[in-house]
Each structure stands twice: as structure tokens, then as C-alpha cells.
Chain A
Amino acid sequence: MAIEILMPALSPTMEEGTLAKWLVKAGDTVSSGDIIAEIETDKATMEFEAVDEGVIGHILVPEGTENVKVNVAIATLLEDGEEAGAAPAPSAATEAPAPAAEPAPATPAAVSEAVPVMNLAPDWPEGTELKQQTVREALRDAMAEEMRSNEDVFLMGEEVAEYQGAYKISQGMLDEFGSQRVIDTPITEHGFAGIAVGAAFGGLNPIVEFMTFNFAMQAIDQIINSAAKTLYMSGGQMGCPIVFRGPNGAAARVGAQHSQDYAAWYAQIPGLKVVMPYSASDAKGLLKSAIRDPNPVIFLENEILYGRSFDVPVLDDFTVEIGKARVWREGEDVTLVSFGIGMQYALEAADRLAEDGISAEVIDLRSLRPIDYDTVLASVMKTNRCVTVEEGFPVGSIGNHLSATIMERAFDYLDAPVINCAGKDVPMPYAANLEKLALVTTDEVVAAVKQVTYR
């Protein structure tokens, strides 16, 4: 049987082209690699090489023909013993069957049809002994406990070892674990983030501390293109078990380049998990889970919260599952959804609203990827109103995304539009008065709730 030579696709987007010139005629012997034709695409004229050996049987498409579809037979090649000029095979286009336009399956979490159920499970068993601990201590304990139980966990970053951490999170860790496992790096974020990603590919479990997440912008290519996407790109062969952690968001009076909240940025990236704790128990339980997680986890802390104390359970191995929200306060009239330091405003607002007889349910998302949609939706279906609170920029915020999800899945339950309270749409100013205005405030949250409850 004669072999058909097909019109080649010469670029990823080429659908048809002009057969500009034949460099062979029927009866010519060709071997693989010989140039047999010139083909014009919309971008260039390309030479077309023979792949197989044989004798050209028929030229099916004469030179000069325009709009020749990709995969149409343009010539035949005879195999040994076949005769040139033999009846040409019908030149019906042997187009590759167009892939059936199958719809992409819906995102599992966001559009599930099931009735959402709220996560009201306590993080620790009733009666567990509690101690007061700062977020700073909780983070240190989480890292130290995981490093004790897993040799492959190590910490690297600027000033994490001898200086004990720029914000003193790694206090005492160099002494306990030595300089093999608590490693000071030069100020080379892109480089050491990449080295940590490589170490994770190599089977280790790095914890990378960014002095602040503002500086992780230097490293964001390694975080997103290397850490987040490799599992997918390798067809599941090779993942990146790594934690990138450090303070995120505004501290106090440190100006535009040192005050950004990256929650929404990282939450956008498939392949990452993103966690942003508010309390010390969540800081501890989530960080331990993050270190054990086989995926890259972005762990967003907050400098202002480091010194705050909260109840932390006294348990040998306390973890909090990534992807579960926590209901801090149950209520009937409105759902306040927040995370990280935004919780401070949400909780304060709830206190003040209670004085006015408005009962707010306050949800701490804790995880921003995956998000516990069910807890949010179940709450909104009960209260019929929602206000989101976060410190980051307002455009493309987590609140925007929640609003869209609520609209899609709980539209009929809403008695008022969802309001997103966020930071202002400006770089962080340095001046004390302007900085206050740029951040979200409890007053704004209270006002938003009054608006959605029509008070």
C-alpha cells in the first residue's frame, strides 16, 4: 500500500497552509530527511522533509494550492515493488478526528451540589489541658516538634540561625538542631528558594523562612513555576513537599514596599496550599500539618500577631487539618468571614454589633487554598447576609472570590449584597494618619454589617 504524505502542521496554531512548491515529482526516489516541498504558513515559508524512504507515486495537491488543510494527503509514497502512477488512493482528507469537545469537569469544591455542612468540630477534645502561648512560641514549637520527629525537615532563611530569626521565631533552634538543619542564607531569595525546591525534589522537607513575604516576590518564580507546578507537569511523579513561611501583610509604619498582603496572590495558584492562621493554636496545628503535607504550602504569618497569646492545647501531637474553617462565634443575623489579622476586626466588630442587638457569626477561614466553602455557605444560608474582612488590596481579593461563590451557590438565600471590607486600593503610605486610613478598620466592618442588615 502506498503511504500517504500528509500536509504537515508547522506551528502549534497552524490549521492550513499554501503548498508553495514541490521539489520532487512522481517517480523520484526520496530518503528520509530529503526536502520534498516548501510550505507557506501565515508566519513563514518552511521546508518539508520526507520522513520515509521510497519513490514518489502521485502528487495529489499541485504546487500553488492555497488553504490546504493540515493532515490532508498531498502525495503518495510507493513502497518497494509498487509502481509509480498506480491509481492514487482516494484523496479524501484523513483528518485526525477532532477531539470531542468534552466539557471540563467542574471544580470539585466550588460547585458541588451537595448541601453544605458547617465545620463545627472542635480542634481538640473537650477537657484537654490548655496553656497560653504566643503565636511566636507556637510557630517555633511546631517547627521544633516536626524536626525532632523527622530528620528530613530543615529550616533555611535569612538570619534564622545565629540571629535566632529576624522576628525571633527560630529562637533556640540552632542550639538544638545545629547548623546542618538550621541554615543561614545570604540575601538571595530567588536562589535559596530554588535550592530548597531542589532539596524537596530530592526528598527533603524544607521550611523556607522569608524574612517577610515582601521579599518572596524575589523568589515567586521558583515558588509558582517550580514548586507549585511540578507535580502536575510530571504527571504526578515528583512533588514538592515544602513550606514557605514568614510574616505577611502590614506591620506598622514600614511603608509601601514592606507592607503587602499576598493572601489573594498565592490563593490563586493551583498546586499550592495556602494557610493564614490568626490564633496561636492554628499557627501551631496548621504549621505542623503544612510541614507534613506532600505539597508546597504557603504559610502566611503576621508580625503584629506574633506577640499575641491564645489558648493552645497541651497535646503530644496537635495538628489542624488544612482546608477547614473555624467558627469562632455562632450568630444569626450576618456571617462575617475573615482570616489572619482580619479576624481581629471581625471579632471586634461582632462584639460591638452584639451591643446593638445584631448577632454575627464569625468564621475564620484559616486556609485560603483549599477554602472551606461549605462552612461559609452553610452559614450564609442561615444568616442570609455576609460581610468579608481582609487586609489586602480590594481588587481580586479573597472576599471577591467568596462573593462570587456565594452568588453562584446561595443566591436565593441572600437578603443583601455581600460586602467586601478590604485594604484601600493604594500602596501603603508611611504617614501615621494615612496608614490608618489605608488599612481596613473595625468601624468599616460595623458599617458594612449595618448596611447589609438594613439598620
Chain B
Amino acid sequence: MAAKKATKKPNVSGEELKEYYREMLLIRRFEEKAGQLYGMGLIGGFCHLYIGQEAVVVGLEAAAEEGDKRLTSYRDHGHMLACGMDPNGVMAELTGREGGYSKGKGGSMHMFSSEKHFYGGHGIVGAQVPIGAGLAFSDKYKKNNSVTFTYFGDGAANQGQVYETFNMAALWDLPVIFVIENNQYAMGTAQQRSTSSPDIYVRGEAFGIPGEIVDGMDVLAVKEAGEKAVMHCRAGKGPYILEVKTYRYRGHSMSDPAKYRTREEVQRVREERDPIERVREMLLTGKHASEEDLKAIDKDIKKIVNESAEFAKSSPEPAVSELYTDILA
């Protein structure tokens, strides 16, 4: 099935478009900075960058409302920024400092914000999927009319617990949107080497869960699909699957040389499908913004990101007494 394009005339204003540009750019610049800090030894362990996939979270967050929940894997920085978490707190968690969202105790893969209804940051591939359905269960139980965006990768889509979850989510009509961020690789394994069916969303059919493929490099297409899925869930019709075709430009994590694909392949996506460039062009050709306006946005973003890096460097390490706190409530 071909990815759905956004309907020809986007019903978004220039202001909205500018906002998506800003948000995507924030994620990209933030991730580039995180990559730098990793190179300087300020960030340790695993660090999975979201560069290339920005339109997915930004488009879906545009379809979300206050009270909606979200959770994802270890590739989580973009999701946190897109749902409005503070870049300083995210960056300081990456450096393992007191000012981080988890006081430095979680790290890149494990961050949470109850304020923004961000439920992690999960290091075990696939584990967030039933948890997302559980959050949706709590919403249905409490008659909240909220939905839960449960993000996972094309690799995660092969875990057994995903299908146990599909069954129960459909059985109980849970208001959960399963967002498969299909960036075509699970670490070094191309999707067709791990997945028996060419499309993943079709697996929902067996459980009676509707779904579709979405062009994840087009923020408006993602938003449109997101709105449709959200409507389905809020109408009490149960879960929905969005298989969002996207691409990660960097290696799986900072230590992955990414020899399993050609440089040309990456370059082609960057040149032809970049989600930020696409919006930039729309802004300019639609005369929603001038080059100057965009420069001003760039400058503004750079400032936010630099400040977050400064904060992340200067925030102290957690107090030694933190070692034994937060183990039991």
C-alpha cells in the first residue's frame, strides 16, 4: 500500500506550519548537540538520535489534545521535546545530572514526565507496547476520553507481546494508537530481513484493528492520519495502527558505524525527502515566511539548544544520597 499523502490543500495556517518547522528544527538541533556532547564524553552509554524522524512526533503531537498520553522506546528525545518537555531537563538527563528529568538516574533511554503525560523512555524492545495499552485501559476505565500514543519500531513490531497487546486492545476497545515508526532498520537489520510481511500494519487486520501507512517525512500527512486515528479512538471504536514510514539518518546509536546501508541511500533520503526541508519550502513558496523569518527561528532554536547544553554541563551530579532514594515509594 502506498503511503498516504496529505490531502492536496493542507488545511493548516501559515502560523501552524511555522510552528511545526520550529518544533522539528528544535529536535534536529538538539540531537546534533547531543551527538556532540556524546563525542566529548559528557553523555555516556547508549544514545539513540532521532534525526530524520522529526515529522513523526511533531505531526502526531499536532493531533493530540491535553491529557493524551505518549510513550516510546529508548529513541525518545524527540518525543519529549515534541510534547513540551523542557530541553534543559532532557539534556541534563543525558549528561546524568541533578537537573535532569530523572535526577540523572535514568539516562538517555529512561526519562518520564507526569506533567506532560510522557510515560518513558523504555530500554527493552517492545516492552512499551502493552504498557501503552495499559495506559489506554486506565483512560477507558476512568472515562477520560484521552488516547495513548504508543510508539515502537519496525524491529519491535516482531515481539510477541505486541500481538498479545493487539488482541487485548481490540477485545477491550482500548483507546490506543499504535504508532509503528518504520525507519526501515532495526539496528543493522533491514526490515525485509526480519519481517515476513512487507507491511506491518496489516497484521492488525487479524485482530480487527484498522490501520494505514503514512508518509512519515511529511508532517502534514502524519498530522492528518493522526487526527483520523484520534477520532477513531475517542469515538470508542478501539485501537488504531499507523505505520509511519520514516528514516533515521544516523546510526542506530552513537556506536553504530551503520555499514549495513550505503551512504548514497542516506544521502538520497536527506536530499529528496527531508521533513524539515519540505516544510521550509512550503513556508517560502506559500509566502508564509521569508528567509529572514526562518533565519530568526533558526537563531532562536540555536539559543535554546546551546542553553540546554550549558545547563546540562553546569548542573551538578546527583547527590550521593540519591543512590538509595526512589527505590520504593
Residues of A within 8 A of B (CB): 158-159, 162-163, 166, 184-188, 190-191, 214-215, 217-218, 251-258, 424-427, 429-434, 437-438
Contact = CB atoms under 8 A, between A and B. Distances in A.
Contact of A430 (B96, B126, B186, B320): B96
B125 interface: yes
Interface in B150-207: 155-156, 158-160, 186-189, 193-195
Nearest to B191: A186
Nearest to A427: B327
A214 B45 contact: no
Nearest to B153: A187
A158 B125 CA distance: 12
Nearest to A215: B124
Contact of A253 (B44, B156, B159, B193): B44
A214 B125 CA distance: 11
B104 A163 contact: no
B45 A253 contact: yes
20 contacts: A158-B187, A159-B187, A162-B193, A163-B189, A188-B158, A190-B160, A217-B124, A255-B108, A255-B110, A256-B110, A258-B45, A424-B323, A426-B324, A430-B102, A430-B105, A430-B106, A430-B108, A431-B107, A432-B96, A433-B317
Given A159-B189, A218-B124, A252 B45 contact: yes
B110 A434 contact: no
A430 B95 CA distance: 9
A402 to B, nearest CB: 26
Given A431-B96, A431-B317, A434-B104, A257 B110 contact: yes
Contact of B158 (A184, A187, A258, A429): A187
A215 B189 CA distance: 17
A429 B323 contact: yes
Contacts of A187: 125-126, 155-156, 158-159, 186, 194
B130 interface: no
Nearest to A214: B124
A69 to B, nearest CB: 45
A433 B320 contact: yes
A191 B109 CA distance: 25
B204 to A, nearest CB: 18
Contacts of B108: 255, 430
B188 A434 contact: no
Given A257-B109, A430-B44, A434-B318, 12 more contacts: A158-B187, A163-B260, A184-B189, A186-B155, A186-B158, A187-B125, A218-B126, A254-B46, A254-B109, A426-B324, A432-B317, A438-B323
Contact of A257 (B123, B158, B187): B123
A188 B159 contact: yes
Contacts of B193: 162, 184
A158 B124 CA distance: 14
A159 B257 CA distance: 14
B197 to A, nearest CB: 12
Residues of B contacting A: mostly: loop
A223 to B, nearest CB: 15
B322 interface: yes
Contacts of B93: 430
Nearest to A437: B323
A186 B160 CA distance: 11
Contact of B96 (A191, A253, A425): A253
Contacts of B155: 186-187
A48 B260 CA distance: 68
A427 B195 CA distance: 34
Interface in B202-225: none
A257 B159 CA distance: 17
B97 interface: yes
Nearest to A254: B45
A412 to B, nearest CB: 37
Contacts of A438: 323
Q: 6 closest A-B pairs (Cβ-Cβ)?
A: A430-B107, A253-B44, A253-B45, A257-B123, A431-B104, A163-B188
Which of B159, B320, B323, B324 has the most C-beta atoms of chain A within 10 angstroms of its own C-beta? B323
A330 to B, nearest CB: 36
Contacts of B260: 162-163
Contacts of B123: 214, 255-258
B194 A434 contact: no
Given A188-B159, A433-B318, A159 B188 contact: yes
B286 to A, nearest CB: 42
B104 A252 contact: no
A290 B188 CA distance: 29
B105 A429 contact: yes
B76 to A, nearest CB: 12
Contact of B45 (A158, A186, A190, A430): A430
A186 to B, nearest CB: 4
A162 B187 CA distance: 11
Contacts of A191: 160
A162 B159 contact: no
A162 B188 contact: yes
Contact of A434 (B105, B122, B158): B105
Which of A215, A252, A431, A434 has the most C-beta atoms of chain B within 10 angstroms of its own C-beta? A431
B104 A257 contact: no
Contacts of B159: 187-188, 218
B303 to A, nearest CB: 27
Nearest to A189: B159
Given A159-B187, A426-B327, A431 B160 contact: no
Contact of A256 (B106, B125, B160): B106
B113 to A, nearest CB: 16
B124 A255 contact: no
A255 B120 CA distance: 14
A217 B194 CA distance: 21
A323 B46 CA distance: 35
A163 B108 CA distance: 24
A252 B47 CA distance: 12
Interface in B306-322: 317-318, 320, 322
Contacts of B317: 431-434
Contacts of A185: 194
Nearest to B324: A426
A255 B109 CA distance: 8
A430 B187 contact: no
A217 B323 CA distance: 25
Nearest to B93: A430
Contacts of A425: 327
B263 to A, nearest CB: 17
Contacts of B124: 214-215, 217-218, 257
Interface in B274-329: 317-318, 320, 322-324, 327
A431 B45 contact: no
A178 B271 CA distance: 37
